[in-house]
Chain A
């Protein structure tokens, strides 16, 4: 029996050292949906993806992917589960000692016994999908930031995983690539029957393609809803984020002592 929800996060808390980052997050991702996770910089979005990928273990609560509790798997189980996950890292994380082609082919070569011809076709298809078939023989150092991210995207979907996590897929893209990438994520999700988790700051672009949105702030989910709900929402937090206003409940600053004290004014 397949679970309806591919990802289920229940009351998860996590902190680096003594500083808590997440304080009881609940989130579910239905199969076949594109879910956006939004929130201000440093609120713990990347951390959330790392918890789902099992790179860090929750201090409290459970993270379940396809019914398995990620934090409790042994290394073998974790690796088995990860074969069904693709992840686009925030900074690409391409293997710098391999060409673009070899980067995309990496998982196919590691995890399948496909002949080199078949691998070649698959890799070129994925590269074509991100518009970089012509760049197959370049090395990562020869790519621009946006191109590197698109290659990383092609690499993340190379094995056609069931869950793909995108950490800031839109950052550093020009408006054309931005629209194309957004549509690509939507199309891949629909045609391959994937589930996509998209961490992003790009509210306008992502609202066009997502089914459901979660807003993270101060370590908890402060708002959630479908794209229409979010556009229409009058919650101050959501309103501020959607319209990019500087004043509102979202603090722009990392927690710090009073500015006046730091500058030694009036002391």
Chain B
């Protein structure tokens, strides 16, 4: 009994390590074969449409609602300290530093990441990737790399739009609905948000999340067993793994970026 379970554990560990190695090689190959994605940028643009543009609705609507909730909750809290005018700062900083990159990335993982995995997995299952190899076209260069760069480019743009919509939502609730002073809402926000500390760090976060999500999604698709169950399992794993990766990376990045800021 014990021996069996130790064997099992060992087996799984070996398989896990082997898979990580395979993923690392996949990632390197993807970077090495990225030439096509830039030389024929049309391929990447096309994928940006599928991953980025088609995620717009969910990103914009979620951003608006998150911002409106921030407006309500923030006002409630700030009011007890008599500093309602700081609502602009609270909304903007929460969005730009944290919620924008993180929530947009979580939405992106479930909207675009799952679609990428399912598409690549099905292309593999129906031998489209083999057919491409037999036509002397490298699927990593032609199919995988453009999707990777499309995701990496789309992610910060989506996060920025999410934050912008959120700030607008906060403004709607805070200023228009509750009646916080409009002038101080914007001017306080303007003076408190720092370009390098806040905006740039937010962008860096979302680029890192974009790399993580698209890499996981592409790898899961490429590595999926060529069957219906295989592809559906891989799609689920993409959403779970990349969401957890986003949250973990966010913690690590935040710890590094905002050390020593009050």
A residues with a Cβ closer than 8 A to B are: 53, 55, 79-80, 82-83, 85, 87, 89, 91, 93-97, 106-107, 110-111
A55, A91, A95, A96: the one within 8 Å of B133 (CB): A55
Q: Is there an interface contact between A79 and B138, defined as CB atoms closer than 8 Å?
A: yes
* Chain A neighbourhood of B130, CB < 8 A: 55, 89, 93
B43 CB to closest chain A CB (Å) equals: 11
CA distance A89 to B134 in the complex (A): 10
* Chain A neighbourhood of B142, CB < 8 A: 110
Q: Which residue of B lies closest to A98 (CB)?
A: B128
A144 CB to closest chain B CB (Å) equals: 16
Instruction: Give chain B interface residues in 122-163, CB to chain A under 8 Å.
Output: 122-123, 126-128, 130-138, 142
Q: Is there an interface contact between A111 and B136, defined as CB atoms closer than 8 Å?
A: yes
Q: Which residue of B lies closest to A111 (CB)?
A: B136
Question: Which 8 pairs show the lowest CB-CB distances between chains A and B?
Answer: A93-B131, A93-B127, A82-B136, A79-B136, A87-B134, A83-B136, A110-B137, A107-B135
Q: Is there an interface contact between A85 and B128, defined as CB atoms closer than 8 Å?
A: no
Question: Given A89-B134, A96-B122, A106-B135, 7 more contacts at CB 8 Å?
Answer: A53-B134, A94-B128, A95-B123, A95-B128, A96-B126, A111-B136, A111-B137
Q: Which residue of A lies closest to B133 (CB)?
A: A55
- A sample of 28 inter-chain contacts (CB < 8 A) reads A53-B134, A55-B130, A55-B134, A80-B136, A82-B133, A82-B135, A83-B136, A85-B134, A87-B131, A87-B134, A89-B127, A91-B126, A91-B127, A93-B126, A93-B127, A93-B128, A93-B130, A94-B128, A94-B131, A95-B123, A95-B132, A96-B122, A96-B128, A106-B135, A106-B137, A110-B135, A110-B137, A111-B136
The 8 A CB mask of B94-124 against A (1 = contact, 0 = none) is 0000000000000000000000000100110
CA distance A79 to B123 in the complex (A): 20
B50 CB to closest chain A CB (Å) equals: 9
* Chain B neighbourhood of A93, CB < 8 A: 126-128, 130-131
* Chain B neighbourhood of A95, CB < 8 A: 123, 128, 131-132
B42 CB to closest chain A CB (Å) equals: 11
Q: Which residue of B lies closest to A107 (CB)?
A: B135
A244 CB to closest chain B CB (Å) equals: 29
CA distance A94 to B127 in the complex (A): 8
B226 CB to closest chain A CB (Å) equals: 11
CA distance A96 to B122 in the complex (A): 10
CA distance A82 to B138 in the complex (A): 11
A263 CB to closest chain B CB (Å) equals: 28
CA distance A97 to B116 in the complex (A): 13
* Chain B neighbourhood of A83, CB < 8 A: 136
A119 CB to closest chain B CB (Å) equals: 15
The residue among B123, B130, B134 with the most chain A CB atoms within 10 A of its own CB is B134
CA distance A80 to B127 in the complex (A): 21
* Chain A neighbourhood of B119, CB < 8 A: 97
* Chain B neighbourhood of A111, CB < 8 A: 136-137
The 8 A CB mask of B218-239 against A (1 = contact, 0 = none) is 0000000000000000000000
* Chain B neighbourhood of A91, CB < 8 A: 126-127
B165 CB to closest chain A CB (Å) equals: 30
* Chain A neighbourhood of B123, CB < 8 A: 95-96
CA distance A88 to B32 in the complex (A): 30
* Chain B neighbourhood of A106, CB < 8 A: 135, 137
CA distance A192 to B131 in the complex (A): 22
CA distance A159 to B137 in the complex (A): 13
Q: Is there an interface contact between A82 and B128, defined as CB atoms closer than 8 Å?
A: no
CA distance A94 to B128 in the complex (A): 6
CA distance A107 to B134 in the complex (A): 10
The residue among A53, A93, A94 with the most chain B CB atoms within 10 A of its own CB is A93
CA distance A106 to B139 in the complex (A): 13
CA distance A87 to B123 in the complex (A): 17
B96 CB to closest chain A CB (Å) equals: 36
CA distance A87 to B126 in the complex (A): 15
* Chain A neighbourhood of B128, CB < 8 A: 93-96
Q: Which residue of A lies closest to B137 (CB)?
A: A110
B8 CB to closest chain A CB (Å) equals: 20
B36 CB to closest chain A CB (Å) equals: 10
B138 CB to closest chain A CB (Å) equals: 7
* Chain B neighbourhood of A53, CB < 8 A: 134
Q: Which residue of A lies closest to B138 (CB)?
A: A79
* Chain B neighbourhood of A85, CB < 8 A: 134
CA distance A30 to B123 in the complex (A): 34
